[in-house]
Structure 1
Amino acid sequence: MKKSIYFLVGMLLGIDSILYAQEVLNNQSIITLVRAKVARDLILDKIKASASQFNMSTNGLVELKQATVPDPILDAMMLASSPLPTLRNQDVIDLYTGKVSREIITKKIQYSETSFNLSTDDIVALKAAKVPDQLVKVMMVPKRAQQQSTNPNLIAGVLAPHPETLPTAVRSRFAEPGIYYEEYKTPKPQYLQVEPTTTNQTKTGSVGEAVINQYTGGIPGTTQRVGLANKSANMVVEDNRPVFYLVFSGVNRKTMNDVAESIFDGVASPNDFVLIRAKVSGRGREVIIGRQSAYTSESGFSTGAVPFRFKKISNTLYKVYFEQDVAAGEYAFLYNKGSEFSSSLKIYDFSLRNNTK
């Protein structure tokens, strides 16, 4: 009897894993949803929450447009498909003759590596193919596409690199424990404290998950999200590769900040934190902090987590840095201890603006 029960539970867990494994969106998935007249917002949420393997080549994009997939969905699919194939003159011609909108072609240029040829003969060929002058101008200066982007976090201009080490005279300037951004636009650096936001706006599941769980007995499960008001943080950081300093106090080993739940008591190092890229929607920002199904329960920040490096400067001071450019978007440092998610969370949020998509 016990063997039968174990077999049944194992089989159900296997089904759960298979369901997750099969949840990989492709072009046909989106076309099917569009033709079924599923609400646009629900499709966008599905793209943001699911793994995907979209074909966003020139041919793939033209086929999607022929299937009447709306531009906002095409934009979301391109954003979920980094890196995109290198774009050349013929791609722009094929996209335009394939009835892809100017806005999507501009964004395609923005999101892609480009290898355009723009000699006199090439421009004549583009003109003969009736490619609009506006697009040819963007091809001449691809950065123009970033300036035209609706993404408010993309900026123009070259950003100065950070110094290799923290100046000794600066170490005593941190007024209190916390997280500080190193703004290094001038020879004299500024260290700006990232103010925390405490939230208990926890949301479980979505409309789509509710419908699926109703017919499967809860096997797929639901995601637990924390919502933040507004589409962007008050703290704005302009940097391709930001540098932060985490300052702890020497009381009770290391304590960063006092909060009602005392979740920072005994914080040992930056290893206790995670950096999350928040998802932006019409309702504001949100981060996923866990997932629960009928047979499994997970907590933590695997979705949207951004890896970082850190260097210990002293017993109470750490430098946090990145080995690669970080994409523009909305981010937050969170205390990474799943057992304490039942109460409010202290979130150190900031908007990252730069030239990186």
Structure 2
Amino acid sequence: MNSKMIMAMAVAGALAFVTTGVAAQEMLTNEAVLKLLDAGLPAEAVVAKIKASPSQFDLSTDQLIALKNKGVPGPVLAAMLEPKAAAAAELSMDSPDPAVPHYPGVYMFGPSDQRMYRMLATASNQAKTGGIIGYALTGGIASASIKATIPGQNAKVRSGSAQPIFYMFFDESVPRNLAVGSSSVWTTGAGSVTSSPAELSLVRFTEKKGAREARVGSLNIAGSKQGVMDKDRIAFETEQVRPGVFKVMPSQALPPGEYGFIQALTGGNVSGGGGALTARVYDFSIPG
């Protein structure tokens, strides 16, 4: 048997070993590297294998000296020592761990199944004015209320707890290497972006046939006010988990009903009803 045949058999044996290791999802170890070299595989091929495979090397000083004494070439040792690039991270939509990067938005935490549910915003698509007769009869002394109306009698997201836990992921929480598109769900208009739960209001909706309403402004002789009235706001607690990520929970248990976090958008005019047309709502239900 000539030297070429011996080399061919050695390479074939090494390849068979490599294939078996891959099929079994075997981690490359110090012993595996020695086997590949002993089988006659060139150092360049072993280096390529190390870079392409998962590994669990013992790289203590004593082990490195032992590998060198067994004839492991310098380039192979260097490849074993070189840290591998971490797998590309991905944005999650259900991981219960707030340390994991999530798509920006509002999430309700489900304690029963230990996962997060991303809440899609519902747009306020109508404006209603209440108390307009009193406003007109009193020459503006009595206030007229501006109401934001969202479609549907009930929210699609239903909480299993009277004191649900939410997580809000703002743009700051997304690592720079993970692109989420040019537009943000937290854009409020005029170049501004919501970056804190303090910029949202938690309210209880008045339930109407096929819709839900919440006051978002008032108008009287003294002028107009835009935004959720203070007495309509429901208090909630916030805790910053990490930059751009907040844990949010109502301060007290909520009675059964329809609720939502209202994100006010700029550019509206309450006197013209625009305030009601420029709101983004993350709505949810507390079942009875």
TM-score by length of 2: 0.55
Q: Which has the larger radius of gyration?
A: 2
Q: Match for 1:192 among 103, 110, 117? A: 117
After superposition, residues 29-40 of structure 1 pair within 5 angstroms as none
> 1:260, 1:298 → 2: CA distance?
22
> 1:171, 1:251 → 2: CA distance?
10
- CA separation of 1:283 and 1:293: change in aligned 2, threshold 3 A: farther
Structure 1 SS opposite 2:189: coil
Q: Which amino acid aligns with 2:280?
A: K
- CA separation of 1:274 and 1:193: change in aligned 2, threshold 3 A: same
> 1:313, 1:274 → 2: CA distance?
20
Residue equivalent to 1:219: 141
Residue equivalent to 2:247: 319
Residue equivalent to 2:217: 290
Q: Match for 1:250 among 169, 172, 175? A: 172
After superposition, residues 138-149 of structure 1 pair within 5 angstroms as none
Relative to its length, the structure with more strand (as a share) is 2
Q: Match for 2:235 among 303, 307, 318? A: 307
Q: Which blocks of at least 5 consecutive residues in structure 1 are unaligned?
A: 1-167
Q: Which amino acid aligns with 1:203?
A: K
Q: Which amino acid aligns with 2:142?
A: P
After superposition, residues 1-357 of structure 1 pair within 5 angstroms as 170-173=97-100, 175-186=102-113, 189-205=114-130, 209-250=131-172, 257-258=184-185, 262=189, 265-302=192-229, 303-336=231-264, 340=268, 342=274, 343-353=277-287
- CA separation of 1:175 and 1:328: change in aligned 2, threshold 3 A: same
- CA separation of 1:263 and 1:269: change in aligned 2, threshold 3 A: farther
Across the aligned residues of Structure 1 and Structure 2, the Cα RMSD in angstroms comes to 2.9
Q: Which amino acid aligns with 2:254?
A: V
> 1:275, 1:353 → 2: CA distance?
17
- What count of residue pairs does the alignment treat as equivalent? 180
Identity %: 22
- 1:233-274 C-alpha deviation (Å, 9 max, x unpaired): 11111212110000012289xx99337853784323111111
Cα deviation for residue 216 of structure 1 reads 1.7
Relative to its length, the structure with more helix (as a share) is 1
Q: Which blocks of at least 5 consecutive residues in structure 2 are unaligned?
A: 1-94, 175-179
